[in-house]
Each structure stands twice: as C-alpha cells, then as structure tokens.
Structure 1
Amino acid sequence: MPKNRFVEVNGLSLHITEQGSGPLVILLHGFPDSGYTWRHQLGPIADAGYHVVAPDQRGAGKSRGPEAVDQYSIFHLAGDVVGLIHALGEEEAVIVGHDWGAVVAWHTALLRPDVIRGVAALSVLPPRRTSEPPMTVSEKKFGPGFYQNYFQKPGVAEAEFERDVEKTMRVFFADRSPEVPLESLVPVVAPGEGLLDALNAMPGLPSWLSEEDLAVMVATFEETGFTSFLNWYRNLDRNWEQLAAWHDAKITPPSFFVTATRDLIPAAAGPGFIERLPEVLSDLRGVLNLEGGGHWMQLERPAEVRDALLGFLAEL
C-alpha cells in the first residue's frame, strides 16, 4: 500500500507518496495537479520491483514553497528532484513527468544526466530554446491574452481560480479531455474575461474522473491557493535567460515519450513532431501515441501508460 510522509529537500518539506522497494522511480505531476495524479501507476510500478515515489513538487499539493517568485525557477525545480534522489538515499533515478512535470523531468535530465538513469515524459515535448524570451514569442504569436502571458501578473489568475475552486478544477480537467469538442487550439483570454471563459467545459465530469477524486484536488487547492504554482510560469523568461549555456544541448539519458492524438500541447508543435524528437533526444527508446487520447493520459488511459512505462523501465 502507498505510504505518505514528508522529506526535507533543499530547505523545504516535500510531501511524497511512495510504494515498493528497488531501483528508484520518481513521478512528477503537472499543473494544476499533485502527486495524487499518479494513483493508477504507483501500485503496478511498485509490484514490478521498483521504489516508486510521487512527490508534491515545490509549492504544490501538501508541499509548501517560498513566497518569492524567483524561487520557482527550473533550476530550483530540477534541484528539488536531485535533492529528493539523494534524500531517499540513492545516487540515481528514473524520472517520469506529465505536463509541467515533464518540463521538470526533461530539464533535470538535461542539467544532471549523471543522476538520471532514464527520463520519460507525457504530453510536453523536450525543450528547444527559442531565439527570444518565451513570453515575447507567445505574445507575438497569440497576443497578450495567451494563457501563459495572462499568468504573469501576480494576483490576477489566482483571484479568478480561487473564486470557485471546484468550478476551476472541473473546467481544467474537462478542457483537455477527449470527450469535449475542441473549439480552439490555444487558450487565449479575451479582454475583460478570464482564462476559464476561454477553456472548454462540459456538464458533469469526464468518465475517467470520479467526484471523489475531484474532491481531493479541490480540497488541496482550497487550502493552498494557486499562487505558488503560478510562480512556475512567472519564471519562464528567467529560465530562458539562465539556460543560455544549454542552447541546442541534447538530452542524453535514455528517453521515452507518450503523446496522444487529442492532446493540444504536442499538437501545437505541428506535423512531424515525433520524427523530430531525435534532434533533441540522443537516446530515444520509443514513443507511445495514444489514438483518441487527451491531455490527462495517465488518468484517461492508465493501463496503456502503465504498460509503456514498465516496458521502458525494463529496458534500462
């Protein structure tokens, strides 16, 4: 059975859910989420002979974080992964990430390949550093209402999301579900509106999400709010500036990627993105493309994701 505890990492108390024994596997969640998102994968990975750990990352779930915005850079987030590996008494681990967790996983493998035995990511492609800061790029392409630009001003997005946390979580989980007609490729906030107005909604919940599971996430964000998590986005330009030395660098540990045909995040990269992966990943071991799957693939298609991850782990 999974166990919960807190681990001291880089001056923070990170909440983790863990199960099993053996080589270390760390599962990293995205936004707006927590380690709870990996509930379907924990048991099977542990049963296959691994010590599997799903942390609530810095400022998310039950893990608190600093108040200062600049304490949520990709270097802090990757540093927490490395610190967690060592705090658990290990020298290396396989890391798996979904959404923002994929961003953290890719960058940890880029920055510290010596401690990463393998890296798998769901939804978000490996990083390619742009020629201009990302918020400049997105504003030029989509306008100032692009959701990541909307997140930049402290207090605005969190006020919208915290007004009715249950509604917020319902919309976020429904928006990228394959059960909802896709009305727009990119969420852009119209003047005088909020992000929730720009996202796709649905009556009730997707078939893969229970009211009980939603209640867990609602309770989490009602307690913590969204500010710390939104600070991850508020470091995007800072990350770009500080990652200059890794421009065009490849990710060298063995890697695996999971995508889905109705997930808008990889689709935004345009046709042929799977074929271009080896340009960034020097040891790509495979790709799982879930036909008809949406963004929350570890919840929507848990068995397929589980089997793909177990296959990747067995190869290492």
Structure 2
Amino acid sequence: MAESLPPPPLPTAIRSRYVENINGLTMHVLEAGFETSGRPCLLLLHGFPELAYSWRKVMPALAEAGYHVIAPDQRGYGRTTGWDARYDGDLAPFRFSNLVRDALGLVSAFGYAQVEAVIGHDFGSPVAAWCALMRPDVFRAVVMMSAPFGPPPSLPFNTANKPAKPAVEDPVHRDLAALPRPRKHYQWYYSTREADGDMTRAPQGVHDFLRAYYHHKSADWTDNKPYPLKAWSAEELAKLPTYYVMDLDQTMPETVAPVMPSRAEIAANTWLPDSELAYYASEYSRTGFQGGLQWYRCGTSGAFTAELQTWSGRTIDVPSCFIAGQQDWGTYQRAGAFEAMQTKACTRMIGCHLIDGAGHWVQQEQPPEVSRLLLAFLHEAGPAQ
C-alpha cells in the first residue's frame, strides 16, 4: 500500500523511507543528513493535525549544520502503519509511555544509543518532554515547541492520617456549557465519537477545512493576540479563540469556516502554499483523523494518569528550551503551564523564545528563525558526553 502512494513533495535534501518493526509499527520517516555516517542525531516529533512533513523547512538547515535529522509520522498518523484507527480500539498504545517507546525504538533502529536532542511541536512537545524525563540517558536535550510542559501529575501525598479526598469531576465543562454563549473545550470535542467524521467529511472538504484551520491558528489571522489567563475557569477559558474553546453546538469545520482566507490571501501565503497543503489534505483524506484524536482521548479520559504518577516529583534535568510563535495562544491555553515549565518542570532551561510573526505553526511560519534558535540551543547545550 505505502509503495503505491506518490512521494511527498520534499526538498532535495530530505528523503522519505520506511523502517519496520518499531514497537509494532512500520514507521514512515523523513530523513536529512543521511549522506555521511557518524553524525549526531536529532529526533523531530510533529503534532496535530500535522505530519513529519511539517519539519520540511527546518530539516535541511539542521542537516547542513552536521546533524542526522529524523522525523517520523508518529503513531496514528500519515504513512506509519500498525496502529488501530477504530474509535472503539485499544487506547493504551497511544499513551505517553508507549509514544516514548516508539521514539526510543526508532532511534535505536538507526543505531543510536544517545540522541543530541529530541524536538517536539504541539502534541509532539509533551512526547519530547516525556522522552527527556523518562530516558535522559538517551535524550540528552529537549526542545518543546508551542505547548508548554507542566510537571508530572503528583501522587496523593501525606494521606496516612488524612485520607485523600475522592476525585471529583472537573466542573469547568458544565460551567462552559452554562455560559451565556455556551462553549466547549476543543480537547473534549476531539475526544468524542463524532469528531473524526466531522472533519473527514467536512462540508467544505478536507483541503479547505485544513486551510481555514491552519489560517485560524497562524499569525495570518490578525486577531491572535494572546496573553496569560488567570485560571482554569469557564470565564477565563471563554477568552480563548473558538478553535480552542468552541461554541457548544458547532463542529471544528463549522468553527473555522467563517475565517476561511480569501483566494488572494491563499495565493499570497508563502509558508503553506496550496501545493504543500495538498499533501496534508490527501494524507488525512486517506487515513482520517482518528489516529491523532486517540492522543487527546488518552488525556481527557484520565485513564493513564496513574501510570504517569510513577514519575511524580521528577524534573527534566537535561538542557531544555521552549520555542513558540508570539501570536500563538497555545502558550497560554492552560493557565500557569508556561510559568510552571520554567520554574518547576525543567531545571536546566537555557532558552525560552516567542517568535514574532508566527502563530501556532512556528516551524512552518518562521523556519529561518526556528532553525537559528535550534542551532544556538544545541551549541549552548554542548555535545554529547
């Protein structure tokens, strides 16, 4: 099946290949800097709704600097196979500890016992962070992009004589629905049975749905002027754009349709021209969105929180860096997370950068500056010992 697909439209410095037997997957991988052996390795992990293809603009610069750059379609995405696309399928393979195992298996398959840095964007950011937290001996530095990483969930503490209070359902969703303008949080919408069909069968088509979605979360949408929220409350969350806190009765395609850019705006778009968007659209039309949506379901269900409590109290102690667009609400969508990453989760954060002129898709919107910041971080973090 994979061999019959047309090749991705890639720069000449990047090749597409498949690597078998990676934690039950056949992984589709984009690779740059493969011409010579012995190079230090960088692992790049994409988010939603993206693919390894989202790194195409920074991979050549990293390879030119002397790195072997590996970017997979992660579990649930693109041309990687071996995952279950059914809503009623097993969620466990999509939990963070198994996504770390996917990353570990991939770099091991390439013959690396240590990776110079793991770099993750959007939902790839917490995967990269968990890689560095769980296996700092392998992932010797980490860059988190567009999604701050909070500390691991805490274990119930000091409960021997004061029993822990029973867990209660988060009231924020009821409160959002009860607002004068009823709302819902996108991550819980993404966890519904209907979300995949809503997007796969978007009334405007997958291509135009993705065009509007990418536009809405980019610096091109001039109303993206983010600022820190004060709390995880319905009143504060309602300040977020509708791509994060949606109108209660709308699907995501309906949410983004009103901000569809004009033909002139699309023609003027240099960071995601239609010829490149077509690759995303063809892949998601073929696979659907459920593989990526399973990641959200793992988080909203709380089913795997107990496992993550195994690392309660642990910090990321390898050199770390955060990069996001200055016009990206993702930095602030959970109150306090941006600050907690810098003060609690990471003990060796040596860079925290918000790039003007970029929204959520920072490595696509501003690739020269992202490449520059990544290389400066890698230089400051120093070579592997």
TM over 0.5: yes
| Corresponding position of 1:222 | 285
TM-score by length of 1: 0.92
Q: Which amino acid aligns with 2:247?
A: A
CA distance 1:196–1:228, change in 2 (3 Å)? same
Q: Is contact 2:151–2:315 with CA below 8 Å preserved after alignment? A: no
1:102-148 Cα shifts (integer Å, max 9, x gaps): 11101111111111111011111013346799993763664572111
Contact 2:46 2:52 in 1 (8 A): yes
CA contact (8 A) 2:47 2:122 kept: yes
On the 8 A contact 1:180/1:201 being kept in 2, the answer is no
Give the match for residue 234 of structure 1. 297
Query: Could you tell me which residue of structure 2 aligns to residue 302 of structure 1?
Result: 367
Which of 1 and 2 has greater Rg? 2
Stretches of structure 2 that go unaligned for 5 or more consecutive residues are 1-12, 155-165, 178-182, 225-238
1:29: which partner in 2? 46
Unaligned runs of 5+ in 1: none
Check conservation: 1:102, 1:121, Cα contact below 8 A.
yes
Q: Report the Cα distance in structure 2 between the residues aligned to 1:304 and 1:133, rounded to whole angstroms.
A: 44
Over aligned residues, Cα RMSD in angstroms? 2.4
Pairwise CA distance, 1:60: 0.6
Partner residue in 1 for 2:24: 11
**Which residue in 2 is equivalent to 1:290?**
355
Q: Write out per-residue CA displacement over residues 72-93 of structure 1, whole angstroms, 9 at most, x where no aligned residue.
A: 1111111100111111100011
140-149 vs 164-173, which deviates more? Answer: 140-149
The alpha-carbon distance between structure 1 residues 14 and 279, as it changes in their structure 2 partners (threshold 3 A), is: same
Which of 180, 185, 202 matches 1:146?
185
**Residues 292-311 of structure 1, C-alpha deviation per residue, up to 9 Å, x if partnerless?**
42111101111000000011
The alignment partner of 2:378 has SS state of: helix
The answer as to whether partners of 1:37 and 1:298 remain within 8 angstroms in 2 is yes
Contact 2:325 2:361 (C-alpha < 8 Å) held by counterparts: no
How many residues get paired? Answer: 315
Relative to structure 1, is the Cα distance of residues 296 and 135 closer, same or farther in structure 2, using a 3 angstrom cutoff?
farther
* Residue in structure 2 matched with residue 46 of structure 1 by the alignment: 63
Q: What is the identity percentage for the equivalent residue pairs of Structure 1 and Structure 2? A: 31
- 1:313 maps to what in 2? 378
> Is residue 121 from structure 1 mapped to residue 144 from structure 2 by the alignment?
yes
* Residue identity opposite 2:282 in structure 1: A
Q: Which amino acid aligns with 1:5?
A: R
Q: Which amino acid aligns with 1:170?
A: R
Task: Give the equivalent residue in structure 1 for 2:199.
Answer: 161
**SS of alignment partner, residue 376 of structure 2:** helix
Q: Specify the SS of the correspondent of 1:234.
A: helix
Contact map agreement 2:24 2:82 (CA 8 A) in 1: no
- Normalised to the residue count of structure 2, the TM-score between the two structures is 0.76
Structure 1: distance between partners of 2:23 and 2:315: 27
Change over 3 Å in CA distance of 1:291–1:83 after alignment to 2 = same
Distance in 1 separating the partners of 2:81 and 2:191? 20
Larger helix fraction of residues: 1
Q: Tell me which amino acid in the other structure corresponds to 1:24.
A: C
Equivalent-residue separation in structure 2 for 1:244 and 1:275 (angstroms)? 17
Q: Give the conservation status (yes or no) of the 8 Å contact 1:106–1:127.
A: no
